[in-house]
Amino acid sequence: MSSVGVLFVGAALLVNGLLLLGHVDPRSAGVFNLFVGGLQTAIPAYLLATAQTPDEILGAAGIFLFGFTYLYVGIGNLAGVPGTGLGWYSAWVALLAVGFAVVNVVRFDDPSTALLWAQWSVLWTMFFVVLGLGRERWTEVTGWLTLVLSFTTCTVPGFVMLLGLWGDVSPLVVLGSIVATAALLVVPLRRIPRPALVGEPVAVPAA
């Protein structure tokens, strides 16, 4: 993926993570998502138009997954459209992200980038859970995951790519960031409300 695109995806994930956590207004987030969505569709469109090999087409195709996501978020937030469709689109993106992770290992011998795709697959799966399936109790965890991955999978790697040093990054470094992310999510995971079991009395809040 384009290093410039990765960098600005980090900004979009930052804004969307804060949106999920209730710190950013949906319409304000929508405007910024349109900016990044436009960038992430213009870049692959140019790459496709100038592609000379199947691998170049393959690389450009993956960028559209992000571009259409942010355009969907932006238009949906500004128009007040329910997020169910976005949630199911996210499930499709999560599935394809697994494919791109495998391709980066098998075809491009790039396990570090493959680990980024694997994390994006998890993130888009969480979008599916919250938006597509309506599991609102996972919203806080998804917000924190989005916030953390905005830096560990996009902002920092994007900047390293801009410096031309991404090829020197060991997969162990990326694995370390995954472990750190899991550790940071322990607290919000513990706060997820437990769904009531069938026949279990439900507590009624005091008036």
- Name the residue range of residue 22's domain: 3-185
Residue 207, in any domain of the structure: no
Task: Give the tens place of pLDDT for each residue, 125-146.
Answer: 999 999 999 999 999 999 999 9
Angle between helices 54-79 and 84-106 (to 10 degrees): 160
Percent of the chain topping pLDDT 70: 93
Cα–Cα dist 126/109, whole Å: 28
Band of residue 75 on the pLDDT scale cut at 50, 70, 90: very high
Checking if the pLDDT of 193 tops 90, the result is no
CATH code of residue 160: 1.25.40.600
Q: Which residue has the higher pLDDT, 19 or 190?
A: 19
Per the structure block, which two tokens stand in for 6? Answer: 């990765």
Checking if the pLDDT of 195 tops 90, the result is no
Nearest residue to 124 (alpha-carbon basis) of 105, 98, 104: 98
Residue 112, in any domain of the structure: yes
What pLDDT, on a 0 to 100 scale, did the predictor assign at position 51?
A: 93
Residue 200, in any domain of the structure: no
What pLDDT, on a 0 to 100 scale, did the predictor assign at position 203?
A: 46
CA 94, 97, 101, 102 torsion-angle sign = positive
Q: Which residue has the higher pLDDT, 191 or 118?
A: 118
What pLDDT, on a 0 to 100 scale, did the predictor assign at position 198?
A: 56
Percent of the chain topping pLDDT 90: 88
Give the number of domains in the chain: 1
Residue 77, in any domain of the structure: yes
> What average pLDDT does the segment 31-46 reach?
96
Backbone angles phi, psi at 119, to 5 degrees: -70, -35
Residue 206, in any domain of the structure: no
Checking if the pLDDT of 202 tops 80, the result is no
Band of residue 2 on the pLDDT scale cut at 50, 70, 90: confident
Cα–Cα dist 131/110, whole Å: 32
Task: Give the tens place of pLDDT for each residue, 109-129.
Answer: 999 999 999 999 999 999 999
Residue 190, in any domain of the structure: no
Checking if the pLDDT of 204 tops 50, the result is no
